[in-house]
Structure 1
Amino acid sequence: MPPGRTLLAWLGTALKYGCITHCALEYVGGLVVCCGPSMEPTLYTNDMVFAETISRRLFRICRGDVVVVCNPMDPHTQICKRVIGMEGDIVCTRNNSYWIKKYQHVPIGHVWLEGDNLDHSSDSRLYGPVPYALIRSRVIWKIWPLSNFGSINKCPTRSIHKN
């Protein structure tokens, strides 16, 4: 085979696999490495998780799910938080002090997100309800470290009032 054909065959194969990889990451899911203390003890820095994208497309995100979201404060970064409230819920919001409580209504098309480690989390308590469209994926498995391999705990620890 002439050298030009070999190069074209290689480029064609690379393009095919590139398209398959893009579709898999966009429409099925992928691996995410966690960073920061906001989700401790559920997730620690450098934990690797598998996050699927099908649930968000089918509007199957539920209260208690851990999700990867475009950061409302910096759209070039992503954050990992737990869904505490869905649209129509009234969420009890606490600051770092357990004495001060406020109640927040979650508007239509939004979710209320909080980290599991309230003392070290910038979340909806800071920037308010987050549009559902900013959700990128739902975390379903912890992959690394292997000693913690398994599904993610789905129990929210905060109180909500369903409307």
Structure 2
Amino acid sequence: MSGAYVWSRHAVDIQYGLGPSMEPELPNGCLIIIDRMSRSFRKHRRGDVVLLESPCKSRGETMCKRILAIEDDAVKINRVQQPESVQVTIPKGHVWVEGDNSLVSVDSRHFGAVPKALIRGRVLFVVYPFDMFHRVNR
């Protein structure tokens, strides 16, 4: 039992998809495999789909989003409440994340750049429903 806990806590984990914000890549309610181990030695890359703690909700609530920008990137964004786009430079130790389904996603357009410390792992595969099995692309 403790070996399984250590494996799921530090190596890989299986989790249900977390809502419609990453559709169609991650269908709502799908089963996904998370790589938790590589966060210790692999740099986060633009395009990675990650599982992270929500920066604006109670501790422990998680979300899946795609990294669009990494530290020191300058990005032009359209914030939800602002009609004009603005340029933002991502601070050190942060990433900019957005959902693929931008119409329903609550993401960095709402709460800004996210500390990398909130990232819990990288999504590797959709494994269920079986007819949607695929490796998650960058």
Regarding TM over 0.5, the answer is: yes
Please tell me whether the aligned partners of residues 96 and 118 of structure 1 are also in contact (alpha carbons under 8 angstroms). no
Cross-structure match for 1:53: 36
Cross-structure match for 1:85: 69
Please tell me whether the aligned partners of residues 49 and 139 of structure 1 are also in contact (alpha carbons under 8 angstroms). yes
Alignment root-mean-square deviation, CA: 1.5
Cross-structure match for 2:98: 114
Please tell me whether the aligned partners of residues 41 and 117 of structure 1 are also in contact (alpha carbons under 8 angstroms). yes
Cross-structure match for 2:89: 105
Identity of aligned residues (%): 34
> Which protein has the larger Cα radius of gyration, Structure 1 or Structure 2?
1
Give the length in aligned residue pairs.
136
Structure with more helix by fraction: 1
Please tell me whether the aligned partners of residues 79 and 110 of structure 2 are also in contact (alpha carbons under 8 angstroms). no
Give the unaligned 5+ runs of structure 1. Answer: 1-16, 155-163
Code of the aligned partner of 2:31: M
Give the unaligned 5+ runs of structure 2. Answer: none
- Structure 2 counterparts to residues 33-52 of structure 1, below 5 A: 33-52=16-35
- Structure 2 counterparts to residues 1-163 of structure 1, below 5 A: 17=1, 19-74=2-57, 75-95=59-79, 100-154=84-138
Deviation at 1:96, TM superposition (A): 5.5
1:127-148 alpha-carbon deviations (Å, 9 max, x no partner): 1110000000100111011111
Deviation at 1:59, TM superposition (A): 3.4
Give the TM-score normalised by the residue count of structure 1.
Answer: 0.79
Distance 1:136 1:62 in 2: 14
